[in-house]
């Protein structure tokens, strides 16, 4: 049993609420989308030498900028990791409603924004399929990070839902793969403050840049105070692409040295917090020899797949005659999240991991490659019911502890439980998709 897109209970906000939370970039220039495309092309050009380009975006908006990053990345020798930080979680059902209600197709969105006809055509033929791929991957309205992998690992989109400062603070600086450029959507400018900018700086390359639309003087000064080079790409003359420059300028004067020191202090503070699980020394991304994986269960198979997507060879050692016999110790052969009444960090992690695993199986079975081994699976869900008074109280506590996202689980009555299990249970339960 799987959730249906038209399930009424899964849409809790109407269209007007959605466009208020996730607005299109409001800019009077009829050529805004063309400027967006050229600006993004310049970012990829400046960072063409990066095998993995990490970009950050503050705000989801109506999704135009995010989808355009995806479409504009044309370098087949480069992987893109786009990290989008959005304070208001949204699920696939609401996202589809947002796009559908903007008119019958996403192409009409171009006319609403007064985009040029050339871009509207490309939006329909190029971005709409990408939007459908994201909808198929079914983002859920949960706090934390959800990862979406497309094009055999060439494109990765991380959606970070929840308080922006909290989300940024939960990550540590990656020396090998820092964030090289940020895009800040205009409708969230008023929510940002210096602490957020410093957290962005902590995660960034020391010569990273920021771009935005209609940036206020206060916003510009706050960004520069944290050591960023700032550009408002909507104000550039895009009739000459040479006018657009996002080149990296080394921070080398006294003031910049102080700003760099502040960034390094923040990184050192994180390093102390995570001292029990140090990230250094880190493996080089230029490893030429295969990486050995011990074990042949689900975890090992997925690790090998993730490394292959990164161009890394592996050698897998398994004690069984065939792979997947032990299923990583999960002999039940089922994948479902561990939900708790407290919904603590571990419970949130299990939800994110569960959704990611389900998307992996969907992507691997949706477009089979040549000589690909089929994956026997059934998205049947897991029905939890009580077996005594104690378990009944705990299950009821879990159900009522919070408003669980429909993509994760929902409560069912006795009649619904009987229909799902196809046996007479006569007990209410909690159905995990």
SS3 readout for 3-15 = CCCCCHHHCCCCH
Range of the domain at 327: 287-333
Question: Phi/psi class of residue 381: alpha, beta or left (left: φ > 0; alpha: ψ in -120 to 50)?
Answer: left
Residue 319 lies in a domain: yes
Do 247 and 316 lie in a common domain? no
Residue 281 lies in a domain: no
**pTM of the entire structure?**
0.85
- The residues, ordered by sequence, that sit 6+ positions from 84 with a Cβ below 8 Å of its Cβ are 56, 57, 59, 60, 66, 157, 158, 159, 160
Residue 282 lies in a domain: no
| Cis peptide upstream of residue 281 (ω within 30 degrees of 0) | yes
pLDDT of the residue at 334:
77
Do 329 and 360 lie in a common domain? no
pLDDT of the residue at 106:
43
Do 66 and 130 lie in a common domain? yes
Do 142 and 267 lie in a common domain? yes
Residues 69 and 54: their CA atoms lie apart, in Å, by: 11
Residue 107 lies in a domain: yes
pLDDT of the residue at 192:
92
Place of tokens 């007990």: 427
Do 91 and 219 lie in a common domain? yes
Residues 11 and 17: their CA atoms lie apart, in Å, by: 11
Do 296 and 413 lie in a common domain? no
Average confidence (pLDDT) per 10 residues, the chain, 433 residues: 39 77 71 82 92 95 91 92 95 86 50 48 69 90 92 93 94 90 92 93 92 87 89 65 52 66 88 68 64 87 87 88 72 79 84 90 76 77 88 89 85 91 88 88
Do 316 and 345 lie in a common domain? no
pLDDT of the residue at 23:
86
Residue 280 lies in a domain: no
Residue 3 lies in a domain: no
Do 222 and 294 lie in a common domain? no
Residues 367 and 179: their CA atoms lie apart, in Å, by: 31
Identify the bridge partners of residue 139 per DSSP, sorted by sequence position: none
Do 425 and 308 lie in a common domain? no
pLDDT of the residue at 113:
45
Total domains present in the chain: 3
Do 12 and 68 lie in a common domain? yes
Do 347 and 328 lie in a common domain? no
CATH code where residue 170 lies: 3.40.50.150
Q: Read off the tokens for 25.
A: 């970039």
Residue 278 lies in a domain: no
Q: Among 225, 243, 271, give the residue marking a domain's end.
A: 271
Residue 217 lies in a domain: yes
**Vertex 53, ends 48 and 55: CA angle to 5°?**
120
Do 216 and 188 lie in a common domain? yes
């Amino acid at each position: 049993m799987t959730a249906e897109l038209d399930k009424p209970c899964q849409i809790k906000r109407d269209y007007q609420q959605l466009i208020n939370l996730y607005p299109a970039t409001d800019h009077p220039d009829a050529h805004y989308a063309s400027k967006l495309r050229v600006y993004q092309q310049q970012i990829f050009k400046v960072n063409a030498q990066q095998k993995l380009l990490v970009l950050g975006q503050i705000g989801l908006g109506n999704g135009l900028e995010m989808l355009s990053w995806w479409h504009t990345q044309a370098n087949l020798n480069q992987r893109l990791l786009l990290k989008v930080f959005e304070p208001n979680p949204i699920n696939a059902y609401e996202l589809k409603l947002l796009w559908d209600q903007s008119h019958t197709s996403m192409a009409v969105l171009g006319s609403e924004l007064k985009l040029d006809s050339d871009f509207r055509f490309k939006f329909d033929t190029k971005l709409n399929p990408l939007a459908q791929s994201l909808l198929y991957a079914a983002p859920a309205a949960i706090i934390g990070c959800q990862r979406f992998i497309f094009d055999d690992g060439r494109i990765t989109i991380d959606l970070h839902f929840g308080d922006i400062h909290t989300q940024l603070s939960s990550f540590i600086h990656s020396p090998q793969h820092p964030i090289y450029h940020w895009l800040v959507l205009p409708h969230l400018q008023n929510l940002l403050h210096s602490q957020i900018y410093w957290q962005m700086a902590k995660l960034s390359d020391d010569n990273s840049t920021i771009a935005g639309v209609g940036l206020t003087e206060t916003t510009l000064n706050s960004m520069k105070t944290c050591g960023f080079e700032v550009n408002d790409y909507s104000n550039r003359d895009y009739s000459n692409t040479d006018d657009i420059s996002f080149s990296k300028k080394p921070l080398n004067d006294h003031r910049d040295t102080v700003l760099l020191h502040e960034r390094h202090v923040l990184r050192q503070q994180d390093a102390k917090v995570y001292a029990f699980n140090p990230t250094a020394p880190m493996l080089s991304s230029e490893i030429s020899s295969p990486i050995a994986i011990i074990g042949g269960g689900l975890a090992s198979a997925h690790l090998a797949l993730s490394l292959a997507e990164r161009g890394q060879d592996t050698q897998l050692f398994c004690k069984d005659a065939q792979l997947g016999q032990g299923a990583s110790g999960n002999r039940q052969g089922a994948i479902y999240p561990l939900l708790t009444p407290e919904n603590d960090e571990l419970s949130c992690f299990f939800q994110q991991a569960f959704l990611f695993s389900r998307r992996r199986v969907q992507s691997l079975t949706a477009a089979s490659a040549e000589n690909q081994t089929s994956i026997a699976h059934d998205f049947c869900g897991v029905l939890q019911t009580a077996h005594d008074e104690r378990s009944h109280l705990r299950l009821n506590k879990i159900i009522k502890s919070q408003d669980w996202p429909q993509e994760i689980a929902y409560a069912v009555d006795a009649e619904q439980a009987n229909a799902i299990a196809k046996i007479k249970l006569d007990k209410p339960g909690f159905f995990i998709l």
